[in-house]
Chains A and B, each alone.
Chain A
């Protein structure tokens, strides 16, 4: 049986996957050459649109960068005549051989809209096993024994959280799936929700059974329309087939799951803020204790787990805690999904066993940096995390060891940076994000981040003072210790880690008034490479400061005494003749 699968996650759609799918549908027609299927994220986002062809002769073949005009040849040569089009095949060996897929087990394999395909891959068997052969206490013990820790970032042991929720005496309890993935540079949860929504529902159902909840919410970002659509569809399907709703699988267990769309507030990823948001209020965190497992949504015990955490649950129940524990380090078990992005050759979604060295992830799986130069740093944990320098590339993927570097494991964003990335600018970027997203409740988070941002902006524009560095560290420590929730407690991390590992770049900005990465515009000079300049006059016409001169068809020049460094000329030059120094 021949099959053609087109990857239609958000990345695939953005790259034009739907047109490719339609072209296949048109060419394959209703003839029985092959079955055409949609699937979710195949993981190798760098080569979207991805198409997988499965047949007896070649097994599985993945084509990358497929555009509609390539479809005819794939159909004619491969689908009809069994001849793979070798030059368009993506080499999956390098990137996949070191990966181990538990969470992503179905991503890019099944059609996310098909419950039957999920069932064919052991779908809802974990739930059935839990309901028919395990007591809630046994389920909790299995999860606790597996060593699974919260994948949302903080790494709290999942089994412990469930046990606390189960122990709360209340006839009404809630499970919540936290799908408010807000870290810029992270897209693991989105891909999971889009590619394998039923595994999340199954994980929630098992959690609900374990703690005794009968009602669940999925709090998902409204910015993920495709995920929302597929989740709604999956909930309807599962309810119709008796995997959700009342008297699930005939065992007298009830669970109703509702979808709540977030409204665009990063702080709502924090548990108590998320609860306030579901209740229809401003999403501001509150003091803990009481913790949500004691008093959460509408005052009832509430167990909140992250998307990736929930995607592990059914697998652990089905295969046992020991199979899960085999992977990983002393304190961090199982696997971790990362969204590899930034200046990396093979960006995408990867899942590696805990304990793998960071540089292994970057070089062996990600293929190194875009231009082949060594990587300078890797940013982990988004705005709450930090930049780990290349010199610490041997650090393994492990909660404690990554925390020791000053960064955090975080939800899984991994942004690779090379020598053209300015670390001061990166710190400023993250701080502008957290400053903007601070809910304003705690003074240090509200005003402290603002002051830190002002200092960083000053440094980036060449007006930094020597004492700024001490001031930044002092403010950073104070914000960390005086904020209620994770946002404020971690907001200074990007600044503190860059101060720790890249102090020389701060010094270069402050003392030498230079940006070594040439990213901070006020600190660079623009010049025109005469050999490349065609004298077209576009830059001259675009320069509002009148700093560019030159005759038509002859190389132009920039007068730096007049230049205001707006970089407009760079954006209009069609031959790339304008450079920075």
Chain B
């Protein structure tokens, strides 16, 4: 089963409250979609229907906006999101190879989620911490001056932590 990203979760109720509070206001579609994504980890079809129902914006138009912007996702994310920076500064110091190491380690291509639902791997244009290149973010934590060795270490650490929490949960049960 794929778990949703836990990092900045807002209860679905918050999205619904926002939807009703701002109905009729122009220019609220993108903030509403952002709230939906914060709540669910992605924009589910039910949220598109809800937004359309309340605001009267056709679902086709909402879908058009979702697919135009890279931030929005129509599929659930893994528990941790790995964002590899492929900005200019990172590119010239070897982000290409770093990306390959991540893909090898996770056995997924960019924009895919690992089978166990632990990681979603994304490539982004620039994280803006060019002096730490090559850089990546795992959720809200930034890792800089990466080497193939440090990447494997970081990813494996997240795996071990996940195993541990799983173990604790099992023990409690």
Contact = CB atoms under 8 A, between A and B. Distances in A.
Interface in A253-312: 260-266, 277-284, 298
B100 A571 contact: yes
B131 A10 contact: no
A433 B125 contact: yes
Contacts of A572: 148
A341 B128 CA distance: 10
Given A13-B142, A48-B132, 19 more contacts: A45-B131, A181-B128, A184-B91, A185-B89, A190-B128, A225-B140, A263-B33, A263-B69, A265-B68, A280-B29, A281-B29, A281-B65, A341-B89, A342-B92, A342-B130, A342-B133, A415-B92, A439-B68, A568-B104
B24 interface: no
A14 B129 contact: yes
Contacts, number: 143
A223 B97 contact: no
B157 interface: no
B89 A415 contact: yes
Which of B72, B104, B131, B142 gathers the greatest number of chain A CB atoms within 10 Å?
B131
Which of B31, B34, B104, B128 gathers the greatest number of chain A CB atoms within 10 Å?
B128
A413 B131 CA distance: 12
Interface of A: 10-11, 13-15, 45-46, 48, 181-187, 190, 222-225, 260-266, 277-284, 298, 339, 341-343, 347-348, 379, 382, 413, 415, 417, 421, 426, 429-430, 433, 437, 439, 566-568, 570-572, 574
Interface string B31-75: 101100000000000000000000000000000110011111000
A15 B131 CA distance: 10
A-B residue pairs, 5 tightest by C-beta = A185-B88, A45-B131, A14-B142, A184-B87, A263-B69
B170 to A, nearest CB: 32
Interface of B: 26-31, 33-34, 64-65, 68-72, 86-89, 91-93, 97, 100-101, 104, 124-133, 135, 140, 142-144, 148-149
A276 B34 CA distance: 17
B29 to A, nearest CB: 4
Contacts of B91: 184, 426, 429
Contacts of A223: 124, 127-128
Contacts of B70: 263-265
A522 B84 CA distance: 23
